[in-house]
Structure 1
Amino acid sequence: MGHPLSPYERALGDAVAGLHPRLRAYFAAVPVGSVGRGSGVFDVVGTPRRWTWPALTVLARSGVVFPVWQRDVSFTVENRGTPDGAVVARRVFDLDGGERTMADRVSMTPIGLVDELGHGRRGRVVRAAFRATAVDGALVLDSTRVGLRIGPLRIELPGLLAPRVTLVERFDDTSGRQHVALTIDLLVVGRVYEYSGSFAYAITTAATRIAPTEGKK
Structure 2
Amino acid sequence: MPSIFQRALGSEFARLHPRLQRRFGVGLESGEACVGTGVMNRIWNAGPLVRPFLALGSRRNVLVTDAGRNIPFQIQNYPYADSYGRETVTFVRTFPGSRFDATMVYNDVRAQVVDYLGSHQHIATPLDLSVDDRGGLIIRSGRQRFLEGPLAVPIPPAVTGTAVVSEHFDDRAERFRIAVTVSNPWLGRIFGYWGSFTVQYVDLASHGIPANVKPRREDARC
* TM-score, structure 2 as length reference: 0.81
Q: Number of paired residues?
A: 198
Matches within 5 A, 1:41-52: 41-52=39-50
What is the Cα deviation at residue 161 of structure 1? 5.4
Q: Which letter does structure 2 place at the counterpart of 1:53? A: R
Question: Which structure dedicates a bigger proportion of its chain to strand?
Answer: 1
Residues 1:43 and 1:7: Cα distance change in structure 2 (over 3 Å)? same
Q: Contact 2:64–2:100 (CA<8 Å) still a contact in 1?
A: no
What does 1:1-217 align with in structure 2 at a 5 Å threshold?
4-30=1-27, 34-83=32-81, 84-95=86-97, 100-109=98-107, 110-111=109-110, 112-119=112-119, 123-136=120-133, 137-158=135-156, 162-205=160-203, 207=207
What is the CA distance between 1:86 and its match in structure 2?
Answer: 1.7
Distance 2:15 2:75 in 1: 24
Distance, in Å, in 2 between the alignment partners of 1:11 and 1:25 is 15
Please give the root-mean-square deviation of Cα atoms over the aligned residues, in Å: 2.0
- Contact 1:65 / 1:102 at 8 angstroms: preserved in 2? yes
Cα offset, 1:159, TM superposition: 5.1
- Secondary structure, in 3 states, of the residue corresponding to 2:49? helix
Q: In structure 1, the residue corresponding to 2:25 is in which secondary structure?
A: coil
Aligned-partner Cα distance in 2 for 1:68–1:94: 8
Unaligned runs of 5+ in 1: 209-217
Distance 1:25 1:178 in 2: 12
TM-score (norm 1): 0.83
CA distance in 2 between counterparts of 1:129 and 1:201 reads: 26
AA in 1 matched with 2:115? D
- Residue 216 of structure 2 is matched in structure 1 by none
Report the Cα distance in structure 2 between the residues aligned to 1:134 and 1:34, rounded to whole angstroms. 23
Report if aligned partners of 2:105, 2:114 keep a CA contact under 8 Å in 1: yes
The question of whether the paired residues in 1 share the 8 Å contact of 2:46 and 2:189 is answered with: no
Return closer, same or farther for 1:134/1:72 CA change in 2, 3 Å cut-off. same
> What is the percent sequence identity of the aligned residues?
26
